[in-house]
Every structure is written in C-alpha cells, then in structure tokens.
Amino acid sequence: MFSSGECLTPLEADSVRKSRSTSARANTRIVALDGLRGIACLMVVCSHFFCDTFGQTATLMDTPLIKAVFDGNLAVAVFFIISGDALSSGFLRKRDAASILRPALKRYPRLVVPTLLSTAFLFLLIRLHLVYAIPSQDILGSKWLFHWINEDITLVDVLRFSFLDVFLKNRAHYFNPFLWTMHYEAIGSIVIFLVLAVLHFNRKALPVLLALTFLVYHDGKSVVFLLCFLFGAFLAFLRTSGNMSRFERTIASKVLSLSALPVLFVLSLVFPHAYFHTGLSLIKAPLFTLAFLGNAQGRRFLETPGIQFLGEISFPLFLFQYSVLISVTSFLVVTYYPLHHTVGMACFIATSGVLLSMILATVTSPMENLTKSICNIVYENAMRLLKNGIAIRE
C-alpha cells in the first residue's frame, strides 16, 4: 500500500490512519479559545480584587487605566462569545444532529458539577467560621462583597443552589454573587442549541426563532449577552467555512489586530462613564475577541504555555475567587487595612488575593477531569435510554 510516497504494510497503514485520525480530532479543539478564556477570567478576578474591593478608598484602583485593563463587563461578554463559538464549532464542522445532541446533553452537568464543588467549599468555610465580614463601610466604603453571607445555610441549600437556583435570575447570587452569569450562560446555551437545530432541520424557521427569543428575553442584559453568544457562533461559522483564513490575509485584519486594543483604551479615556456600560460590550467584546482570534500573531500568543495554563484553570478560578475574597482577603482587610490605609497596602491585599485564587484554582483544577467523566457518563446513559426507547417503539 502506498501513502505519502512511502511503501507501507497494511498493519503500518492502519496505524498511520489511526494516528492521523487522532491528530485530526485533537486539532478540532480551538486551543486559542482556551487562552482567550484564561485572559478574560483573569480580567474578571482582578476587577473584583482591585477595582470593586478598593475602588472606593484607593484612588489608584478607580482610575481609567486600571478599570480599562481590568474591565469585568468586557471580560464577561467575551466569555459568552467564547461559549457561543465553542458550542457551535462541532456542528458547523460535521453538520449532523449528533454534534448538537452531544454538547446539549453534557451542558447541564458541565455547569452543575463545578458549581456544586465550589459551593460545598464555600459552605465549609462558613461552617468553620473562616469568613470575615467587613464590619463597617468605613474600611472599604462598600459592603458589596459581604451582604450575601448567610451562616444559616444547610447542605440542602447547597444542593438546591447548585442544581437549580444558580440558573435562576433572582437566586443566582444567593451563595456566590459572581455566579449571576450562570443564568445568562444557561439561556445562551439553550438558544445556541435551538439555532443549530433549526439550521439542521429547517433553516427557514430561524428568523421566527430569533424573533421569539428576543421577545421573551428583551431586557438590556439579556439582549447584549445573547447577541454575544450569536456573535461567537458567527465566528465559528467564519472559521469552519474558511472565511476567517481569507480575512487574515487582508489588510483589514492587520489593522484590526494592531488598533483594536488601543482604540478600546482611548474610548475608556474619552468616555469614562459610558465606556463601562453593559450595552457598549456589544462593540468592545467583538473588537477584543477579533484582536486575538482574527490574526495568526494573536492566536500564537493565546497558545503560549502561560496563557494556556490560565485557560486550564479559568473555570475553577472564576468559581473559587469569592471564597478567597470572603476569607483570606477579608481577614487582611479587617486586620491590616485600617492600620495602613494606603494604596500600597490595597495593592498588596488585592495581589495576594489574586495569586491565592490562582493557587486554589490550580489545586482544584482536577475537578475538570471529574466533570468531563460525569458528562460522558450522562451522555452515554442518555443515548442508551434513547436507543432503547426507539427500539421498543419499533
């Protein structure tokens, strides 16, 4: 048998074919998306520790430069673009129903399992009295981090929150105020799966689906974040159709990669109040995303080991940052910040909180493997039940 100019035995050819198939499957994962997710997550965490915690008392944390670099609203919108891209890529490559069903069945446990583990850890901190509430607004000028703490919570509350309440708009902040994003993550995921299903079975119904979606979810945040999901799906389409590669060879791609981030920074200086409004994320997030994913240089940066490491720990980092804030960071604020009410002390406390959150995320990152295993079990059992149901009807 001849292949690539080499004479191979049938056994060798089969080995090469399997190797290439494995390599092809590995290459279907967009590694750069993981890196972008890592950068966005770090921005969110730094925004919470630096700007939101000390913005009222340390003037440096409230400057346009720091707020623009640690732009939490922008980073959250980028999260949703990445989700829209990742959830759509498989179907847009293969164009089969299985590419919709597989991620759809895995989506719920993918979100619930890490949430349950992080909430159980938070519950343990509260039960061990390792949570330090800030006693007075005089220290930070705000109680934004601490008024959700409830020492009367039970394990039943932990389970209810992790399996249900975290996805409900009015309950998502009960244990962890940062998990308000889960409500929009769930809605966006459902919309993406419905859009893909319509594209597969009846494309003509797509305008009707989108019209009904925005009729139901018409408040400002929902519209912005759903459009971010759809923009992510559009990026996946551009990449899988080859249009992104063609775009990268144009002058517009080079101009965009060089100017997008400086333009965003200038906008933050010129319009300091309007810039951080959620609605402007519809402009900021696509620009920020294309600055990295729309050119080879940006993707190479996202694929470097350090940025990939951030991507690997991004979900645990997002989930466990609040535990650090209400324990170690709160302890440092209560104990040392009133005595040394300086920008230097604020920077030290914030930096230590970010680093400790990254360490905790690294230690707990094996939960990602556990989550994948549970997702696979859920998918396999769901498919087995589906096949048995079809066989019985036949």
> What pLDDT, on a 0 to 100 scale, did the predictor assign at position 151?
73
Distance CA 372, CA 186 (A): 18
Question: Could you read off the pLDDT of 312-359 as tens digits, one per residue?
Answer: 999 999 999 999 999 999 999 999 998 888 999 999 999 999 999 999
| pTM beyond cutoff 0.85 | yes
- Collapse the DSSP code of 4 into the 3-class scheme (helix H, G, I; strand E, B; otherwise coil) and give the result: coil
- Whether the per-residue pLDDT at 393 is higher than 90: the answer is no
Nearest in space to 293 (alpha carbons), one of 245, 222, 329: 245
Q: Exposed (0-12), middle (13-18) or buried (19+): which is 369, by Cβ within 10 Å? A: exposed
Q: What is 124-148 written as a DSSP string?
A: HHHHTT-------HHHHS--TTTTT
Q: What are phi and psi of 387, to 5 degrees?
A: -65, -40
Q: What region does 63 belong to: left with phi over 0, alpha with psi -120 to 50, or beta?
A: beta
Question: Could you read off the pLDDT of 241-260 as tens digits, one per residue?
Answer: 999 989 888 888 888 888 88
Question: Could you read off the pLDDT of 186-212 as tens digits, one per residue?
Answer: 999 999 999 999 999 999 999 999 999
Per DSSP bridges, beta strands 6-7 and 2-3 are: antiparallel
Q: Where are the alpha helices (DSSP H) in 142-219?
A: 155-163, 181-201, 206-216
Distance CA 127, CA 234 (A): 46
- Whether the per-residue pLDDT at 21 is higher than 60: the answer is no
What element of type H or E holds 353?
A: helix 343-364
Percent helix, strand, coil in the chain, to 5, is 80, 0, 20
Q: How many residues does the chain have?
A: 394
Q: What is the mean pLDDT of residues 377-394?
A: 82
Distance CA 145, CA 326 (A): 7
Question: Which distant-in-sequence residues (6+ apart) come within 8 Å of 212 by Cβ?
Answer: none
What are the distances in angstroms from CA 338 to CA 135, 186, 326, 348? 12, 41, 17, 14
CA 242 distance to own-chain centroid: 25
